[in-house]
Structure 1
Amino acid sequence: MRKITIAIDGFSSCGKSTMAKDLAREIGYIYIDSGAMYRAVTLYCIENGLLHNGQIDVEKLRNEIDNLHITFRPNAETNRPDTYLNGMNVESKIRTMEVSSHVSPVAALDFVREAMVKQQQEMGRKKGIVMDGRDIGTTVFPDAELKIFVTASPEIRAQRRYDELKAKGQAVDFDEILENVKQRDYIDQHREVSPLRKADDALLLDNSHLTIEQQKEWLAEQFARVAGN
């Protein structure tokens, strides 16, 4: 089979990352979590005083964005990659509700997206990668051989996020998560730079009522169809 680029886009909390990680592991590809990259930038803003009452210090972030280097390294315990920001493992920190509540406005900034897209394209130059996010099939890799757009109802996505955070021992409120999901959907679809949308040649996957195994089977079929040609 030839090496290809697989782009998986879709709404927040659709299970894109889990889906992409599992697929990459099963077919021996490199997995790149673009959403984690924007979360890492958001974490940097929070930890370095660039967020004040929900407002981003845009000029300061603009001056510092080129100094933010995000990489992924395999975790021997989870068999999945962890996110590193300037050499520090931030995987746990970027998954909190605090980061989730601020990531969309940060990700909507044109210079942030430009910097992250540049890093993503460099990572994917040799193909053999699976990348998920909001604009992978439309902006980052418009020529990707396999594009998938994932969706599910806001309520189901909020429940998945609620269960995930509860399992990690975090105190969370379902209604707060549901509101966050809806807000992120609106911001992601209406931002000026690289808004979330389905690429014309992307396959639509509504996983509202699919099991993990059903998803895996469908993805494997699509990969074999495209990479085998």
Structure 2
Amino acid sequence: MIIAIDGPAAAGKGTLATRLAARLGLPYLDTGLLYRAIGRTMADAGADLDDPEAAGLFARALRPEHLSGDLRGRESGELASRVAVHPPVREALVAFQRDFAARPEGAVLDGRDIGTVICPDADVKLFVTASAEVRARRRTDELAAKGRAVDYERILAEVRERDERDSSRAAAPLKPAPDAVLLDTSALGIDEAFEAAVRIVETAARR
């Protein structure tokens, strides 16, 4: 079974994907880490993140060791969003992601274009979302819990800016696949969202 989970930042798709993979005994790929790693290595090298060809070169040179370290932070997320707009980057990573999904036992992948581009024939497609305000509050609370001074309004502005960038890019824009099931987590806790996702997967498995 291939499960494709898409959605905007801080909607909860990574948590759901991780728990679904564990529940079903499937391998899991957080495809966002690929883009975060490219953005981080480019920034560390002083490269121009807005140069499509340069970004493509870094993408083609991506190695598993580049996926280690702290790639989960807000800064890495912003770097990822900048390089993800470049067609050469997305082209370089398509084969990597499809190979992962083609494992005999299946897989769970989450990202921005899994159900639309990477695995259009996935057995289950989820589009996990939440309002910008809720996602900004989650991100603010997460950073505050780590002892960082954060401003909710600034985080909200960044969330909206990233949504616009991800949704309007020419290459594989963020949008639900026509046959994806929408899961809005705005009013759901982690456990409630997970149980809702499990029900969606079980329903698809019975078809």
- Give the alignment's TM-score, normalised by structure 1: 0.84
- After superposition, give the CA deviation of every residue in 1:49-85 in whole Å (9 maximum; x if it has no partner): 114xxx5344333333211124xxxxxxxxxxxxx41
- After superposition, give the CA deviation of every residue in 1:144-181 in whole Å (9 maximum; x if it has no partner): 01001111110100111112222233333222211111
C-alpha deviation, 1:215, in angstroms: 1.3
**Which residues in structure 2 correspond to 1:18-57 (within 5 Å)?**
18-51=15-48, 56-57=50-51
- After superposition, give the CA deviation of every residue in 1:28-47 in whole Å (9 maximum; x if it has no partner): 11111011111111111111
- Runs (5+) with no aligned partner, structure 2: none
C-alpha deviation, 1:217, in angstroms: 1.4
d(CA) in 1 for partners of 2:43 and 2:58?
14
- Runs (5+) with no aligned partner, structure 1: 71-83
Q: Which of residues 114, 130, 137 is equivalent to 1:152?
A: 130
RMSD, aligned CA = 1.6
1:89 has 2:68 as partner? yes
d(CA) in 2 for partners of 1:63 and 1:100?
20
Structure 1 segments of 4+ aligned residues over 6 angstroms from their partners: none
d(CA) in 1 for partners of 2:77 and 2:151?
14
Q: Which has the higher strand share?
A: 1
d(CA) in 2 for partners of 1:27 and 1:50?
40
- After superposition, give the CA deviation of every residue in 1:67-115 in whole Å (9 maximum; x if it has no partner): 1124xxxxxxxxxxxxx41xx622x2x1223222332121010011111
d(CA) in 1 for partners of 2:57 and 2:25?
38
1:124 has 2:118 as partner? no
**Which residues in structure 2 correspond to 1:130-145 (within 5 Å)?**
130-145=108-123
1:13 has 2:40 as partner? no
User: What residue number does 1:113 align with?
Assistant: 90
Aligned residue identity for 2:16: M
Q: Which has the higher helix share?
A: 2
Aligned residue identity for 1:173: D
SS at match of 2:149: coil
d(CA) in 1 for partners of 2:43 and 2:188?
36
1:100 has 2:96 as partner? no
> Which has the higher mean CA deviation after the structures are superposed, 202-211 or 124-133?
124-133
User: What residue number does 2:146 align with?
Assistant: 168
Aligned residue identity for 1:181: V
Aligned residue identity for 1:116: L
SS at match of 2:186: coil
**Which residues in structure 2 correspond to 1:53-64 (within 5 Å)?**
56-64=50-58
- Give the alignment's TM-score, normalised by structure 2: 0.92
- After superposition, give the CA deviation of every residue in 1:174-221 in whole Å (9 maximum; x if it has no partner): 222111110110011100010111111000111100122211211111
Q: Which of residues 198, 201, 207 is equivalent to 1:220?
A: 198
d(CA) in 2 for partners of 1:170 and 1:69?
31
User: What residue number does 1:80 align with?
Assistant: none
1:67 has 2:61 as partner? yes
